[in-house]
Structures are given as structure tokens and as C-alpha cells.
Chains A and B, each alone.
Chain A
Amino acid sequence: MEKGKVRILIAKVGLDGHDRGAKYIAQALRDKGYEVIYTGIRQTPEDIVKAAIQEDAQFVGLSLLSGAHNQLFPKVVQLLKEKGAEDIVVFGGGVIPADDIPFLKSQGIKEIFPPGTTIDEVVDFIEKTLKDAAH
């Protein structure tokens, strides 16, 4: 039996409906062999945490283009912690100014992918995180 598949939840947090990037990442990760659960748009941090736990995702990828990332991304991390699921790795993408990245990382978001990120960069991040976790 092949070893466990990596499951990744891709979620649009907040109210913006721009899902082109999130859908692309979801499709491209599928094509790289991952199991991707796509939640669709307008998800609250609570919905996302619930989904991440039920789906037993190892990663949660958040996409947001409206500028609400400083409020909403940390909230997802915090709620995961409250549910005892802080082992789930959270990363984010979208229109996120470089200035905000240090703050987001300090709040427990493991990586931020700005516009122009390639799928290979995301895959490298996932594989490296898995490798580090195995050690």
C-alpha cells in the first residue's frame, strides 16, 4: 500500500470572490499528486478550521485579495490552536504587501506566497515542511 497521501485544504477566507488564484493552486497541487480539498469562497475562519479538522488536512492554504489578511489569517491559526490542531500548517497567498509578511509569520502563518509565485515554489515549501516535521 502506498504511503499516506498529503491532504491540503485550500480556502478562500473573507468575502472576496476572486478565486482564480485559489483554483489554480488547487488544480496544480492535484496535478502534483496531492489530495486537495477546495472549500470555495466566503469562508469564515471558523468554517475553515472545522473543515481542516474533519478533512484531516496537514496543510491549510488561505487565499485573500481584499486586504483583510492581517485580521483573518492569524484568526485561523489561533482557532486551530484552540482546537488542539496547531500541528496543521497554515500558509497564505494573495495581494499581500511585503510589509505585512513579518507580522503574519510572527502570528504563526508558516509562509506567504505573493503574486507571481509558481506552483513549484509551493511544492518545495510543502515537501520541505514535511521533511522537517519527520525529523
Chain B
Amino acid sequence: MQLIEGLKRRDLRALAKAISLAENDPLKAEEVFGEVISQPPMSFKVGLTGPPGSGKSTLIRNIVSRAVEENMSVGVLAVDPSSPFSGGALLADRLRIAIPNLDPSKVFIRSLSSRGHLGGLSPGIVVSVKLMDYYGFDLLLLETVGVGQAEVEVMYLADLVGVVLVPNLGDDIQAMKSGLMEVADLFVVNKCTLQGAEKLRLELESLIENSPRFQNALWKPPVFSTDALTGEGLEELWAFIKNSPRDENFLKLLEKKRKRQVHFQIYQSLLNYFRLKAEDAMKLLSLDYYSPTVVRELIKKILEGREEE
């Protein structure tokens, strides 16, 4: 197939089209790209998640420009939710991330929509990340909107997860905080010149101290205070990201993480398969009442259908 040849030649258009296939039809993409996506991971993958308006894209832009200055190549996947009404999406992260006049072979940015997936990431995300990984960027950045499940899924995709928060987000953050403790490898208090930033930082530090996940752990998430407009704290954040693959404790953590990533890849693939089957089954169904018996019959049919293939 042309695309796979293109990928091997490191053709950017082939990569772009391969990602489209993964997003449109992950099962097909697994089939087509089986050879390349079964390769072991190559890129260091950093996920940034956080509520809308927390300035993730601007942070990513800063990380990209620093990485490029150090002659690294960077791939970015930015995921935004799709419209629940139309299924369409308006993806505008690119304009905050893209830096004009950069060599496109050094920086590749792709905007993705969640395609109606409740988890917040698209069903094809696993394959898309794998494709980017295969292409071999030195650094792979993944931006997701941290609402609902997305922030949980990102920890199965990225090697290092940063949670970005800003002051004064109100009660939502209070409710989110314990969940965030489960996914974060580092925290960023962004727009740190705003009032309430120091308070948020202290709160996070105390939550980290008291979180069961970090009792006697090798790794305690650091908290960075940054401001993308003034540049405050960005140097420190970048140094930390850049050096973590060489940190002994982090490498131990990464070993565990990569196992979890494999599990998630398989799980997501299974989900995609059964979801497709479920959708097909629903198309033929004309029941207007719920019956567990019928559901069991459908499952049987789906499983039998699998064997026929």
C-alpha cells in the first residue's frame, strides 16, 4: 500500500493521510499499518491536559519552540471535543500552537476531534499516536481537554502527563482535584501572575502530600508556576520535561506506564471492534422495549459472526 511506503519514506503527507485513516476507521488502519504500529515506542510522549482556557496550547507552543531551538523534531496531536449536535468540530488549537516559518519536517501539528467519543479522545487515537511514534519525532506532545474521562485516557497514551490549571476556576476544580491526583506526573499552575495562583499552588502541594498514590512513592509530581505571556517558569518546566527521560526514578515509573499503555492499546482496539459490531447490530434492531434475552442473543450473533470472517 502506498501510504505505508510513504510512511517509511518519512513523507509528511503520507503521515497526515495515515492519521486520517486511523481517525476514520481505526480497525482498517490497524490492518493496513499493522507492521509499523507494532514497533516498540520510540518517541518520548508528553500529555498535557486541563480545563478549557487554561492555556495548554500556548504552553505547548513554548515547549515546541524550545525543543526546536535544541534541534529536536516535535509532533503535536491536539484533541478537541466534537459538537454533540452536529458531529462536526471546530479545531482552533493550531493557531495558538503553530509558529510561522518553521521547517515542517521538524514540527508536525495535527488537530483531532473526539468524534463523539465520550472519553474525550477519538476512537482512533491509539493508532494515531502509534503512527506519529513510528514516524519518529524526538518529542511527541498530546493536548487534550481535561473534562470527564479524557484526562484519564491520556495517562494511558503519554509517558509523562502534565495537568495544567489556572486560578479561579471555581468549584469544578475542587471536584476534579482528587481525580487529577491519579493521572498527573506534574502540575502546572499557569497564568501565575493572576490572583489566587499562589493559593492554588499551595493547595496542590498539600493534596500531593496527602494523596495515597504518592505515599512512599518514588515519584512525587512537582508543581510549576508559569505564565506564557511573560515567560515566567517556562525554562524550568522545559528543563524538567527534557530531563525526565534520564531520571532514574522516572524510568522506573515509565516501565510500569508502558505496560499500561500496551493494555490500553489492546483494550481500545477491542472496544472499537465491538462498538462497530454493536452499531451494526443496532441498525438491524427494531425493538421498542428492553430485553436482556435479546441482548444476549445479539452478543452471541456478534461472536459467531467473528468466527465466520
Contact = CB atoms under 8 A, between A and B. Distances in A.
A56 B95 CA distance: 16
Contact of B110 (A3, A26, A30, A54): A54
Interface residues of B, number: 37
Contacts of B12: 53-54
Contacts of B100: 44, 47
Interface in A31-63: 31-40, 44, 46-47, 50-51, 53-56
Contacts, number: 95
Contact of A32 (B20, B24, B88): B88
A50 B101 CA distance: 10
B13 A4 contact: no
B104 interface: yes
Interface size of A as a range: 20 to 34
A29 B123 CA distance: 22
Interface stretch (B34-42, B79-87, B195-203): B79-87
Contact of A51 (B25, B89, B94): B94
Residue among A35, A46, A50, A55 with most chain B CB within 10 A: A35
Interface in B46-100: 82-83, 85-92, 94-95, 98, 100
Contact of B91 (A1, A3, A32, A38): A38
Given A30-B83, A54-B16, A5 B113 contact: yes
A36 B91 contact: yes
A38 B86 contact: no
Residue among B85, B104, B109, B276 with most chain A CB within 10 A: B104
B102 to A, nearest CB: 9
B25 A33 contact: no
Contacts of A44: 100
B16 A53 contact: yes
A3 B94 contact: no
B242 to A, nearest CB: 24
Nearest to A9: B94
B94 A37 contact: yes
Contact of A38 (B25, B95, B272): B95
Residue among A31, A84, A85 with most chain B CB within 10 A: A31
B124 to A, nearest CB: 9
Contacts of A40: 92, 95
B94 A32 contact: no
Contact of A54 (B27, B86, B108): B108
Given A54-B109, A56-B20, A39 B94 contact: yes
A75 interface: no
A32 B90 contact: no
A38 to B, nearest CB: 5
A88 to B, nearest CB: 10
A84 B87 CA distance: 30
A-B pairs, 9 with minimum CB distance: A40-B95, A4-B24, A56-B16, A30-B88, A30-B90, A33-B88, A33-B86, A56-B20, A38-B92
12 contacts: A1-B26, A1-B27, A1-B272, A4-B24, A26-B90, A33-B87, A34-B88, A35-B88, A40-B92, A51-B109, A56-B16, A56-B20
Interface of B: 12-13, 16-17, 19-20, 23-27, 82-83, 85-92, 94-95, 98, 100-101, 104, 108-111, 113, 115, 123, 272, 276, 279
